[in-house]
Amino acid sequence: MTRTVFPIILNTFREAIRDRILYNLVIFALLVIASAVLLKDLTDGQEGRTIVNIGLTAMLFFGVFIAIFVGVGLVSKEIEKRTVYSI
C-alpha cells in the first residue's frame, strides 16, 4: 500500500510547493509564534500552557485550511486539464 500511496503524497506536496501554499503557512506560523510569546505575559503562571494551547490550536486550523485549499486547487486543475473525466 505504501508504494501506491507515496507517489500521490509526493505529487500533492510538489503541487503545494508550486502554489506557494506552504510558504504562506510558514509565514503564518511565525506570526503565531510571535503572538504566543507576546500573549504569555498576559497569563499568570501559565506561560507554558498558553504557548502549547496556541500552538496546538494553530496546527489544527492550519491542517484544515491546507487540506481544503490544496484539495480544491488540485480538483480544479484536474477539471481544467480534463484528466478527472477519465476516472
Grouped pLDDT means (10 residues each) for the chain, 87 residues: 82 79 80 81 78 84 85 83 71
Domain boundaries, the chain: 2-81
For position 2, what pLDDT does the model report? 77
Whole-angstrom Cα distance, residue 77 to residue 67?
Answer: 15
Picking from 29, 54, 61, 60, the residue whose alpha carbon sits closest to that of residue 39 is 54
Cα torsion through 21, 26, 30, 36, rounded to 10: 80
Instruction: Give the sign of the dihedral formed by CA 71, CA 75, CA 78, CA 80.
Output: negative
> Is this model's pTM higher than 0.75 or not?
no
User: For residue 20, what is the DSSP state?
Assistant: T
Residue 67 CA to residue 63 CA, distance in Å, equals 6
> What pLDDT shows up at residue 86?
60
Determine the pLDDT at residue 32.
83
